[in-house]
Amino acid sequence: MLELTEQMYNAVLNLDDDYRQFFCLKHCQEQETIYLLKEKGAEGTPLLFEDAPEEGDDSSTYHMFLPIWCHPRFVEYYLNNADDDTNENFEMVELKLSVFKEKWAPSLKDNMIALALLPLEQDKNFNFCPADIFNHQDAASAAAEAAAALDKVSADDFEHK
């Protein structure tokens, strides 16, 4: 498990979404572990976020997200800031990255469910990426390159209007 000093923990809590994305992906990959929340009980389903479609969304727009974390303390922070239902009904699960890549990622991708990276509070901003991001040798760099490509496309669209 990632050795998380108090100074590092507090610094991550103050990072913006882009830096939290990098931190989360980097450390999940290094530890070969992710943390998520699932409903309590043997057959509990994982916590998912959902947002409403907006005008102009196409079929490649994500509206469902599986939140993941890179350390149990960030999961605890999230639960401490969540509504009572989430705090009482969900528990943390540690999942090996190899199991996630083999068994979870294909289904998430097929169902257009993206990963929400290190969310700290409900209804707050977080970055997201495709569920198969860990198939890249350096997931953090791959996510940054994909985001930069999207930013370039958005900027190009803006310039042509």
pTM of the model: 0.88
Residues 151, 12: Cα–Cα separation, whole Å: 24
Hey, is 38 helix, strand or coil? strand
Residues 39, 148: Cα–Cα separation, whole Å: 35
Residues near 113 by Cβ (< 8 Å), separated by ≥ 6?
A: 48, 62, 64, 65, 66, 131
27 neighbors 120 (Cβ within 8 angstroms):
no
Residues 160, 157: Cα–Cα separation, whole Å: 5
Give the pLDDT confidence of 87-141 residue by residue, as tens digits. Answer: 899 999 999 999 999 999 999 999 999 999 999 987 678 899 999 999 999 999 9
Mean pLDDT of the chain: 88
Q: Give the per-residue pLDDT at 158.
A: 38
Residues 114, 106: Cα–Cα separation, whole Å: 11
